[in-house]
Amino acid sequence: MEIQEALVDQVLIAIRKIIRAIDLHSRKLIKSCGLTVPQIIVLKEIEKSKAPTVGQIANSVSLSQATITNILTRLEHRGYVTRTQHDDDKRRVVVRTTEKGKEVIGQAPSLLHDKFISSFENLKDWEQLSLISSLQRVAWMMDAEDLEASPVLSPGAVMPIDPYKLELERSLQSNSSKNKEVK
Amino acid sequence: MEIQEALVDQVLIAIRKIIRAIDLHSRKLIKSCGLTVPQIIVLKEIEKSKAPTVGQIANSVSLSQATITNILTRLEHRGYVTRTQHDDDKRRVVVRTTEKGKEVIGQAPSLLHDKFISSFENLKDWEQLSLISSLQRVAWMMDAEDLEASPVLSPGAVMPIDPYKLELERSLQSNSSKNKEVK
DNA sequence: TGTAATTAATTAGAGTACTATATATTCTGC
DNA sequence: GCAGAATATATAGTACTCTAATTAATTACA
């Protein structure tokens, strides 16, 4: 029982270290390319799904609408995106990248530390898959809370892991359509 | 090569989902107990290491000193902690929990989702250890960047995993000294 | 048709987190 | 003892993120 608690603590500690590492990396990017990780993610999403609305971006990148509005305001001020009213539905705002915006994403660096990426690439295949599977599993276990009235988890039931295997396989099959930002 | 990039993307996506889940949970805590996760972490740390200075707290919880000052200001306003000048070295500020502060940590809920914790506890032992090992490994791989002139990573070298085994074992041995916040 | 409910985006307000800078204090070397 | 270096904390400024409330536009239904 106490061991369980110590282990759960370890989970939180490890996650907070990861969060901090990602945040620090994001701040370094500001100096090297003038954009933060969230800004690059949003810019890329706009490029990927041509001329999306604010809400669509929010759904795609899993952030609140208010956050996207916030980030877009900054990107717009720097001339990387434009906001125009939707023709049919005037409540909607259509977002597009400018030429300047396209240019800056083209040369945007990797969203994860170079050291992490090289370390990751040096792992054996099964180790890579195991890492990703673990991360996705944790993400899923945390996400479950929001699914009110989710499928019954009987006490003692083993966590389903299949969704992640599926997601992983899907990503492997569709990777040819991904943009290359990692050299 | 392209598969590698898709996998690295999967890592970032999974981590961002985890970050968001933790943030959302933290915001829910504000309603249930009036404190956020970082506030609880800081409060607990003050309790644990009796009367620490601001810098000591920052080191213990791996946040910048400015962030701790920020959080302490809020905790002080609500009467959960006090700040007093150190007797010998007047640059230092000694932080202590008030009675009100001790009370509120006593009834503070878990820092991770209940669903996550119950899911985690239902995992087999090796699955729990595997999850934690993966998280710690990711944290380590990301942290490595900050260690300028770190031990040479020859191209093709396998990532060392031992530091985490050690950390894990240490936590298992010392868990009896941990406070019980998870029922 | 016209009001009510819904939907889309923004605004307001708060918390976390950083870097860089300022301020106060202590230590060091002369 | 005192000027300059080092240390500890606080402040300023920025960005991300959320929820809740507002504004504007569309849809539904009576």
Residue boundaries of the structural domains of chain B: 2-106, 123-177
Q: Which CATH architecture has domain A2-106?
A: Orthogonal Bundle (1.10)
pLDDT, position B19: 94
Report the DSSP beta bridge partners of residue A96: A82
Residue with tokens 């009110």: A148
How close is the nearest chain B Cα to the Cα of A139, in Å? Answer: 5
pLDDT tens figures, B35-82: 999 999 999 999 999 999 999 999 999 999 999 999 999 999 999 999
How close is the nearest chain B Cα to the Cα of A99, in Å? Answer: 25
Nucleotide nearest to B75 (CA to C1'): C15
Provide, in whole angstroms, the distance separating residue A22's CA from nucleotide C28's C1': 39
Q: Identify which of A120-124, B1-5, B164-168 has the greatest average pLDDT.
A: A120-124
What is the distance of C-alpha A9 from the center of its chain? 24
What is chain A's mean pLDDT, rounded?
81
Residue A73, CB, strand C, below 7 Å = yes
Provide, in whole angstroms, the distance separating residue A59's CA from nucleotide C4's C1': 28
Q: Which of A172-176, B39-43, B121-125 is predicted least confidently?
A: A172-176
In the predicted structure, residue A153 carries a pLDDT above the cut 50: no
pLDDT category at A143 given cuts 50, 70, 90 is: confident
More confident residue, A43 or A164: A43
Residue A105, Ramachandran bin (φ over 0: left; ψ between -120 and 50: alpha; else beta): alpha
In the predicted structure, residue A146 carries a pLDDT above the cut 50: no
Q: What percent of chain A has pLDDT over 90?
A: 63
| Among A75, A77, A81, residue whose Cα is nearest residue A35 | A75
Whether chain B has a CB inside 8 Å of the CB on A50: the answer is no
In the predicted structure, residue B15 carries a pLDDT above the cut 60: yes
Average pLDDT over residues A33-61: 95
In the predicted structure, residue A163 carries a pLDDT above the cut 80: no
Q: Considering only residues 36-55 of protein chain A, which place a Cβ less than 7 A from any atom of strand C? A: 53-55
